Structure 1
Amino acid sequence: MSDLATDKSGFSFSTCWNIKRGGGRAMIEEIASLGFREAELNYNVTREMLTEIEPLIERGEIGVSSVHNTFPHTPDPDYGTDSVLLGFEDGDKRKKAVDLLVGSAEYAHRYGAEAVVVHPGEVPIEHAVVKELERSYHEAGRESEVYRRAWASFIERRERGAGVYLKRIISSLDEACDRAESLGLNVKFGIETRSRPNQMPTLAEAKKVVQALKGAPVGIWYDTGHAIMMDRLGLYDSVKEMEGLMDHIVGVHIHETIGLSDHWCPYVHSGDLHFYDRYLPMIERAGVKVYELKAACLPEEIQAGHRLLTEKLEARKRAGVRLER
């Protein structure tokens, strides 16, 4: 049996970890040195980096599990990861957002990737309002009166605006799927759980998207760390509200949080050997499993986190076999 500490089959690793440390080839070689044979190319990968990465893909030195829209890197913040994006009211802007998403899907198909990770959009609420919520959470706590008042005001604004943006997001995804099908692109679109409470989708919104686009290659990209943070803030229950979505998980981002700080190695940095277990069912269901870790995570911490995660997944599998007998 393969050593669980080094065997990374079935798992991919995001360039989020080392995107700022060097060129395209060096970045991929560093990921491969951890034992990963697949990478997720994130939204900060530039066309210049791709000139070094594509030969590695063509020679089979690295596989690509997924690409992260918008891909390659688009410097215009209107089409970045924290924008209205697929929910733009302006028709020309929304058309460009759909064009960019289809372009990401073309790259994914070319590289043999299974999925495109999609940040669908957001309810445009000032970032300062979100930061004040986070400050209240840290200083006073979720059960405090000051946080409750701030949250009630925030959620009222979010709910008032969410419907129209969700409708446009569904329409944009429908168009992107139709165009992808016409181009023969064999990829899925995973709408990602996000890291700020004004961003979309919530799990209830994700369910509406999946139901509205039934039969289309659209599902949820369950970012575990982001879901934990939104659960802590009170946006949704990150476990219970997965009912009805488990069969629609396209992929997962694997990382844990400390408070509202994300992209840490599971189990290792939190020091809690049990909390993250509740997200193992989502990881099991996902066709694409990607570690999305920050640069502060050291190689030995990444190995330790992977070993713990895979040991727990293996134990669940063995327990399942015994139950079936």
Structure 2
Amino acid sequence: MEDKGEFSFSTCWNIKRHTTGSGMLQEIRELGFRQVELNYNVTEEMLTTIEPMIERGEIGVSSVHNTFPHVPDPDYGTDSVLLGFADREKRKRAVDLLVRSAEYARRYGGEAVVVHPGEVPFPDEFGKELEQIYSGQGKDSEAYRRKWAELLERREAQSAGYVQTIIESLDEVCNRAVSKGLNVRFGIETRSRPQQIPTLAEAKTIINALQGAPVGIWYDTGHAIMMDRLGLYDSVGEMAGLMDDIVGVHIHETIGLSDHWCPYVNSGNPNFYDAYLPMIERAQVKVYELKAACRPEEIHESHRLLTAKLAAGREQAGC
């Protein structure tokens, strides 16, 4: 199988098919990947068979995804206020868990931790209703415009306070990580729901406030495409101002508002994803984050197309 080189592959693709960590990573190795991103559903029990593989050099770890290993409490899950908690005890635990993720990343030779910083709390049904209107009536419908305006008004009224708390939390995390000599970077990820932090402007605010700290943006391309389609930000135009701050990327394409598909292959669009190639080229850590429905042959073809386009871009640029 062709070696996928510098590209890493997230365990989100096959974690639900496996009960042992070693079986999960062996399946990824068979795709030609020599590095993995250990995602937030990897349990401590799975690590008992993963760690010997790392120690034997059978697999490398590019990154881990906070909170790592898996924490079953939804307050510290992927869709949570997390680093923005006003409650001091909850925020302290969120900070402690992120430092723990960084310790695991360092132990396994990883370069980065993927971080979901937080969100402006919204009822779950609000976002679902917005997506239903988008899919059923379209972005230009009066119903969508009304619902979107309501979301933005609620989001903008509260987001600055949460962003400030997230900055304070990340400052504490970075100070502790540096004092421990962890030497990993924290990538704040573009998210998949419009109430979640950060927008690209919020990401810039956070990064600028933490100048000199090991914090940058983790550009999840599929999520950014979704937020662009909903109207939250310009996923390509606004990214230009963050190119120097990219820590890593999650590589996947979005069909409508369904994400984690193989770029180019599942969408059938030969050119749309090209706009995100400069970000992938620039990223220190490049990770495919694909859903279980993506078949091995689709993954191989997507990688072939993507790497050919990256090579052509480098050649054109005279690199």
Q: Alpha-carbon deviations, 1:32-67, whole Å to 9, x = none?
A: 000000000000000000000000000000000000
- Residue by residue, what CA displacement relative to the aligned partner does 1:210-261 show, whole Å, maximum 9, x if unpaired? 1000010000000000000000000000001112210000000000011000
2:47 is equivalent to residue 60 of structure 1: no
Shift in Å at residue 127 of structure 1?
Answer: 1.1
Q: Secondary structure at the match of 2:248?
A: strand
Q: In the alignment, what sits opposite 1:88?
A: 85
* Gap regions ≥5 residues in structure 1: none
The question of whether the paired residues in 1 share the 8 Å contact of 2:3 and 2:34 is answered with no
Q: Deviations over 1:117-144 (max 9, x none)?
A: 0000000011100001100100111111
Contact 2:190-2:200 within 8 A present in 1 as well: yes
Say yes or no: does 1:288 pair with 2:272: no
Partner of 1:118: 115
CA distance in 1, matches of 2:288, 2:151: 31
Quote the residue 1:136 is aligned against: 133
* TM-score w.r.t. length of structure 2: 0.99
Q: CA deviation at 1:193?
A: 0.1
Q: Which residue of 2 aligns with 1:10?
A: 6
Question: 1:145: Cα distance to partner?
Answer: 1.0
Moved over 6 A (4+): none
| Residue 195 of structure 2: aligned partner | 198
1:166 positional shift: 0.4
Return the alpha-carbon distance in structure 1 between the equivalents of residues 301 and 75 of structure 2.
38
Please provide the CA RMSD for this pair.
0.8
Q: For 1:139-218, what aligned pairs fall within 5 Å after superposition?
A: 139-218=136-215
Task: State the match for 1:310 in structure 2.
Answer: 307
| Matched AA of 1:222 | Y
Counterpart-to-counterpart distance in 2, 1:306 and 1:223: 17
- Aligned equivalent of 1:270: 267
Q: 2: distance between equivalents of 1:281 and 1:145? A: 36
SS at match of 1:70: coil
Alpha-carbon distance between aligned partners in 1 of 2:301 and 2:133, rounded to the nearest angstrom: 34
Distance 2:145 2:2 in 1: 46
Structure 1 Cα separation of the partners of residues 138 and 243 of structure 2: 31
Please point out which of 61, 74, 86 is paired with 2:71. Answer: 74
Residues 149-190 of structure 1: per-residue CA shift (max 9 Å, x gap): 110011100000101100000000000000001111010000
1:186 counterpart letter in structure 2: N
1:143 and 1:304 map into 2 onto residues whose CA distance is: 35
Query: 1:126, 1:274 → 2: CA distance?
Result: 36
- In structure 1, what is the Cα distance between the partners aligned to 2:261 and 2:12? 12
Q: CA deviation at 1:290?
A: 0.1
CA distance in 2, matches of 1:203, 1:97: 23
Instruction: Give 1:233's aligned amino acid.
Output: L
- 8 Å contact 2:11–2:39 — kept in the other structure? yes
Q: Which amino acid in the other structure matches residue 154 of structure 1?
A: L
SS in structure 2 opposite 1:16?
helix
Deviates more, 1:48-57 or 1:236-245: 236-245
- SS of structure 2 residue aligned to 1:155: helix
One-letter code aligned to 1:304: E
- In structure 2, the gaps of 5 or more residues are none
Equivalent position SS for 2:298: helix
Name the amino acid aligned to 1:211.
N
1:41 aligned to 2:64?
no
